[in-house]
Amino acid sequence: MRAALEIRRGISESPVTAGEVVSSAQRLQVAAPVSAILVGEQTYRTTREVIDYSEAAPTAAKAGAGAILAWQALAALPRRGVDLVREPRTPLVGRKRELELLVSTLTRAIEERSPQFVTLVGVPGIGKSRLVFELSKRFDQEREQITWRQGRCLSYGDGVSFWALGEIVKAQAGILESDRPDQAEEKLRTAVAALPLTMDEATWVEREIWPLIGSSGERSPEERSEERFAAWRCFLEAMAERKPLVLALEDLHWADDGLLDFLEELADRLRDAPLLVLCAARPEFLERRPAWGGGKTNVLTIALAPLSEDETGQLLEAVLEQRELEAEVREALVARAAGNPLYAEQFARVLEEIGAVQQLPETVQGIIAARIDGLPLADKAVLQDAAVIGKVFWPGAVEAIGDIPNREVRGRLVSLERKEFVQQARRSSVAGEPEYSFRHILLRDVAYAQIPRAARGERHRRAAGWIQSPGRPDDHAEVLAHHYLKALDYTRATEQGDSALAEHARLALRAAGQRALALASYAAAARFYSSALELWPESDAARVSLLVEAGRARHAADGTGIDLLEQAFQQLAADRDLEAAAEVGVDIARRFWLSGDRDRAYEYIDRALALTDDRRDSRSRAYALVERAAYHMNASDNAQASRLAAEALPLTDAPGMDDVRIRALDVLGSSRTFTGNVAGIDDSKQAIALARERNSFSRLIVAELNLHCQLYFLGQLDAATDALTAARQDVERHGTADQRNWLRIAEAHQAILHGRWNAAAEMLEARIAEAEAGLVHYLDPTCHAFTRARETKDPQITAPALALCATVLLTQGRRKQASTLTSEVLACGHVQVAALLELHGAVTPIEFAWLVRDLGREAELLTALESAPPTPWLQAACAIAEHDSAGSLDLVAKIRAPSVDAYARLRAAEEAARSGSHDVAKELLAPALQFFRRVRAARHLAIADGLLAEGT
């Protein structure tokens, strides 16, 4: 569509003639990019609150008429967020410095594209939200250049998972609480499509954002919380890319842990974006997160102090609209308010409404209660019913709770607004309903506290009923569960046990658990599921799936919960629901394996396999096979691994199994390569291509890093470097913390192979610091780490540990012990030696071969490597064992790892020197010396110099 909705007259400001209007409209039409809507200034000014625009290049004018300013409509943007302060009645008092600080921080974020994080901290009513509002007002003029989004954390229980972020997304996409899932989905798609993202990214971002606003959706068997964070980060980054972005997060003290983790990660990982995250929190927040923002240069915490006496006085006078208060009254009120603007406001209002200072209650809650008590009874009832919903509410909900006709509710709200108890939002988040909020949460809290306890249960039940009716129940699951739990608590307290209510409650709790689990808020999910299980009848068939979900949530939250999964496994197996049992079995196995209990892991994976033995075309069968194959691979039993992965692969042709297929190809590729079959590389490349096509980033990154390992194993170091470079981009963008560590270690390892030791040290410094800060095994005098490595029973972990330990022992002259450890490696045959290459062991086969020679055990190495895959690494190791130094050097040269090459030359030169061939030694040493000098390898240089000196 090419369209010009409206036009502006030329800049010359000359009066518009009809002809000009038409021609301007035509010009806008011509200037409008395909599929874009251009509007003129007037439309822009009147609609910029609801539509997001970007400035378009002025349209060329016809002679004399001036250029036409135009804006391109990007998307409908109904709201900046929920619960915004509207124009306050009283002017801002004080807070000059704080406001200036905020202004300059935002300016800096924009001008330097450096993300800034500011947290306003202070007691209730001190003016945090007001400052947020004042900042937004300062930038009102520049509204078209800034996107301002606001979200608040809810005070229910331990917070509603990521609610504030969900509100931000909803505001950005114009999604209403009352929208059906399909409507919400469509709006989200449009909003994401409007962002500067590639098609792939957009699909991914959309998928990962959906649980924030919609249903739990389908889940893959593996949790991917970090991937979700990466996608959300990508979304915010893209928003900021389009226009500088301010995210205002209210009431952070009620945030769930997940949201706080996300924000911390955002502060850590976002480097280059015009973004300000502005949070408001009460002081208890810092008790919860004492290290909030500690040590980061882009994170600032501003503590709001009480207003001065003078400022408090000014505020009182402004509220009372009096030029000067009587000195005595002023003094008394100022003393009571103690610099808290909310208190000052409430004291002033009660004074206005009730009179005489002497009778005033002591606390602000008392004052507010007195004010509420001063209301007509019907107004008071409306206020209390509204308080059941929360800080933000809608007349329809009040109607449902209090059985008051809607018209009457609306009328009473008008009078409550006049008295400054509530305020109406400019736009509502529920279609067809105006939206209101309490002026301050304390007003809501006091109104709620006044409801007799016996009357609360029924009110919460009705609130739940109202919330449940429209929109997307999944998105509101946690809020709903809160109301049902309260309803249950209060009815139980009054001993009116009610089975229908219990049923509603347990269903709501399960849905809440699912929402939280889908958002990877494991602790919250575990809590919801536990409450649901308590209410769930033992005999109900759906209980077993609840056990599974509860177990998963608990295990992810705190490492417990495997017992629940085991219970479910037994139950499912007993019920002959073999498919489900097998999937749970695989899941249990993985959890045992991650906790280092290899034997139990194997026990369960084998049970899962046995269950699906005669179901050769099932999904669970494929899944169990692939996972079994992966265990074999991790145990360096690559022949078995590739056999099982190959068996699984054809089973993954069925639709909906791409995830398993990617994994199958990945495991097949790696295990084939490690058995010396170079076709493995192609399998891995297929896995990578499919993962990329499906936006399955976790799988993609694992496959990419595995491909890098394979190329390294094959001695193709240049190709390995390229693979790592390719992986880096995906890891940086979508990777989990583990994957980032893996990448860094792989990169450090590359650096070592190239002799860039300082760079490697720098890369590893962070890991070392981490280790020093508390890793249990670091510097453990009893060699605990080593014992642990052995306990894993996985060659790829034990082999490097043993080989390294032996090398160190030998340099210390402890030959016998070194020899014992070396025997252990050799005893497992080529598997163990080859395993030195599977992860980035500290010792390569070349170094190990020289160690073996130093110990005089060459024959054993040759026997061990008899059936080893013919990679340059292992062939070179054989050559060294056969005393064919020249041959080994040729093979090493193929690998193109300068540091290994230099080491091999040094050892060969040593040997030559020992046999008196000093010239040969000198010749061998020349390139090595050059390398050692360049990278300042002091120890090796000393040895080389010693050798050269012998020859002269």
675 counts as binding Mg ion under rule CB under 5 A: no
**How many C-beta atoms surround the C-beta of residue 855 within 10 A?**
18
Nearer CB in complex with ligand ATP: 348/947: 348
Nearer CB in complex with Mg ion: 125/841: 125
Nearer CB in complex with Mg ion: 391/461: 391
Contact 329, 348 (CB under 8 A): no
**How many C-beta atoms surround the C-beta of residue 510 within 10 A?**
24
From 10, 78, 81, 122, residue interacting with ligand ATP (rule: CB under 6 A): 122
Query: Using CB under 6 A, which of the segments 1-9, 92-100, 353-361, 831-839 binds ligand ATP?
Result: 92-100
Distance of CA 670 to the CA centre of its chain: 29
Whole-angstrom distance, CA of residue 510 vs CA of residue 163: 18
Residues 744-763 that bind ligand ATP (CB under 6 A): none
Q: x/- contact string, 263-282, with ligand ATP (CB under 6 A)?
A: -----------------x-x
How many Å is the Cα radius of gyration of the chain?
A: 34
The minimum distance between CB 125 and ligand ATP, in angstroms, equals: 4
The minimum distance between CB 212 and ligand ATP, in angstroms, equals: 23
Nearer CB in complex with ligand ATP: 90/798: 90
Whole-angstrom distance, CA of residue 909 vs CA of residue 922: 7
340 counts as binding Mg ion under rule CB under 5 A: no
The minimum distance between CB 250 and Mg ion, in angstroms, equals: 6
Nearer CB in complex with ligand ATP: 440/754: 440
Nearer CB in complex with ligand ATP: 130/476: 130
Query: Using CB under 6 A, which of the segments 85-93, 355-363, 373-381, 780-788 binds ligand ATP?
Result: 85-93
Contact 726, 746 (CB under 8 A): no
150 counts as binding Mg ion under rule CB under 5 A: no
Whole-angstrom distance, CA of residue 774 vs CA of residue 290: 19
- Closest to 702 measured CA to CA, from 671, 683, 727: 727
Q: Which does 471 bind (CB under 5 to 8 A by kind): ligand ATP, Mg ion, none?
A: none
Nearer CB in complex with ligand ATP: 13/87: 87
Q: What does the DSSP 8-state code read for residue 714? A: T
8: three-class secondary structure by DSSP: coil
88 counts as binding ligand ATP under rule CB under 6 A: yes
Query: Using CB under 6 A, which of the segments 68-76, 128-136, 429-437, 696-704 binds ligand ATP?
Result: 128-136
Q: What does the DSSP 8-state code read for residue 613? A: T
800 counts as binding ligand ATP under rule CB under 6 A: no
In the numeric block, which tokens belong to residue 444? 């809501």
Dihedral of the alpha carbons of 58, 63, 65, 66, in degrees to the nearest 10: 30
Whole-angstrom distance, CA of residue 866 vs CA of residue 826: 12
In the numeric block, which tokens belong to residue 523? 């602790």
336 counts as binding ligand ATP under rule CB under 6 A: no
Q: What does the DSSP 8-state code read for residue 695? A: T
Whole-angstrom distance, CA of residue 42 vs CA of residue 64: 21
92 counts as binding ligand ATP under rule CB under 6 A: yes
Q: Which does 93 bind (CB under 5 to 8 A by kind): ligand ATP, Mg ion, none?
A: ligand ATP
The minimum distance between CB 107 and ligand ATP, in angstroms, equals: 21
For residue 249, what are the β-bridge partners?
151, 279
From 8, 95, 391, 708, residue interacting with ligand ATP (rule: CB under 6 A): 95
444 counts as binding ligand ATP under rule CB under 6 A: no
Whole-angstrom distance, CA of residue 414 vs CA of residue 409: 9
Query: Using CB under 5 A, which of the segments 126-134, 327-335, 687-695, 872-880 binds Mg ion?
Result: 126-134
129 counts as binding ligand ATP under rule CB under 6 A: yes
Query: Using CB under 5 A, which of the segments 124-132, 328-336, 636-644, 786-794 binds Mg ion?
Result: 124-132
From 43, 105, 116, 129, residue interacting with Mg ion (rule: CB under 5 A): 129
Whole-angstrom distance, CA of residue 287 vs CA of residue 740: 30
Note the helical H segments in 174-280.
181-193, 199-213, 225-242, 257-269
588 counts as binding ligand ATP under rule CB under 6 A: no
Helix (H) or strand (E) holding 553: helix 543-558
Q: Which does 440 bind (CB under 5 to 8 A by kind): Mg ion, ligand ATP, none?
A: ligand ATP
What's the full length of the chain, in residues?
A: 952
Query: Using CB under 6 A, which of the segments 9-17, 126-134, 159-167, 703-711 binds ligand ATP?
Result: 126-134
The minimum distance between CB 343 and ligand ATP, in angstroms, equals: 9
For residue 280, what are the β-bridge partners?
120
Q: How many CA atoms lie within 13 A of 534 on its CB side?
A: 11
98 counts as binding ligand ATP under rule CB under 6 A: no
Q: Give percent helix, percent strand, percent coil of the chain, each to the nearest 5.
A: 65, 5, 30
From 106, 275, 441, 810, residue interacting with ligand ATP (rule: CB under 6 A): 441
Query: Using CB under 5 A, which of the segments 128-136, 262-270, 447-455, 504-512 binds Mg ion?
Result: 128-136
Contact 308, 341 (CB under 8 A): no
From 185, 345, 838, 910, residue interacting with ligand ATP (rule: CB under 6 A): 345
The minimum distance between CB 346 and ligand ATP, in angstroms, equals: 9
Whole-angstrom distance, CA of residue 798 vs CA of residue 783: 13
User: What is the strand order of the sheet 299-303 is part of?
Assistant: 147-152, 245-250, 275-281, 116-121, 299-303
93 counts as binding ligand ATP under rule CB under 6 A: yes
Query: Using CB under 6 A, which of the segments 337-345, 498-506, 735-743, 892-900 binds ligand ATP?
Result: 337-345
Nearer CB in complex with Mg ion: 155/741: 155
> Alpha-carbon torsion 30, 36, 37, 40, what sign?
negative
With left for phi above 0 and alpha for psi between -120 and 50, is residue 620 left, alpha or beta?
A: alpha
Nearer CB in complex with ligand ATP: 314/571: 314
Whole-angstrom distance, CA of residue 464 vs CA of residue 447: 19
437 counts as binding Mg ion under rule CB under 5 A: no
Whole-angstrom distance, CA of residue 772 vs CA of residue 769: 5
Q: Where are the extended beta strands (E) located within 368-463?
A: 392-393, 422-424, 436-438
Whole-angstrom distance, CA of residue 593 vs CA of residue 605: 10
Q: Which does 312 bind (CB under 5 to 8 A by kind): ligand ATP, Mg ion, none?
A: none
The minimum distance between CB 128 and ligand ATP, in angstroms, equals: 3
**Residue that has been written with the tokens 């809440």 in this structure:** 512
Q: What does the DSSP 8-state code read for residue 227? A: H
Contact 346, 364 (CB under 8 A): yes
CB-closest chain residue to Mg ion: 129
Q: Which does 39 bind (CB under 5 to 8 A by kind): Mg ion, ligand ATP, none?
A: none
From 130, 228, 515, 896, residue interacting with ligand ATP (rule: CB under 6 A): 130
The minimum distance between CB 311 and ligand ATP, in angstroms, equals: 7
Q: Which does 721 bind (CB under 5 to 8 A by kind): Mg ion, ligand ATP, none?
A: none
440 counts as binding ligand ATP under rule CB under 6 A: yes
- Closest to 435 measured CA to CA, from 419, 420, 423: 423
Query: Using CB under 6 A, which of the segments 127-135, 241-249, 453-461, 769-777 binds ligand ATP?
Result: 127-135
The minimum distance between CB 371 and ligand ATP, in angstroms, equals: 14
**Residue that has been written with the tokens 């400019």 in this structure:** 426
Residues 300-319 that bind ligand ATP (CB under 6 A): 315
The minimum distance between CB 768 and Mg ion, in angstroms, equals: 43
The residues that touch Mg ion, with contacts defined as CB under 5 A, are 128-129
The residues that touch ligand ATP, with contacts defined as CB under 6 A, are 88, 90, 92-95, 122, 124-130, 251, 280, 282, 315, 341-342, 345, 440-441
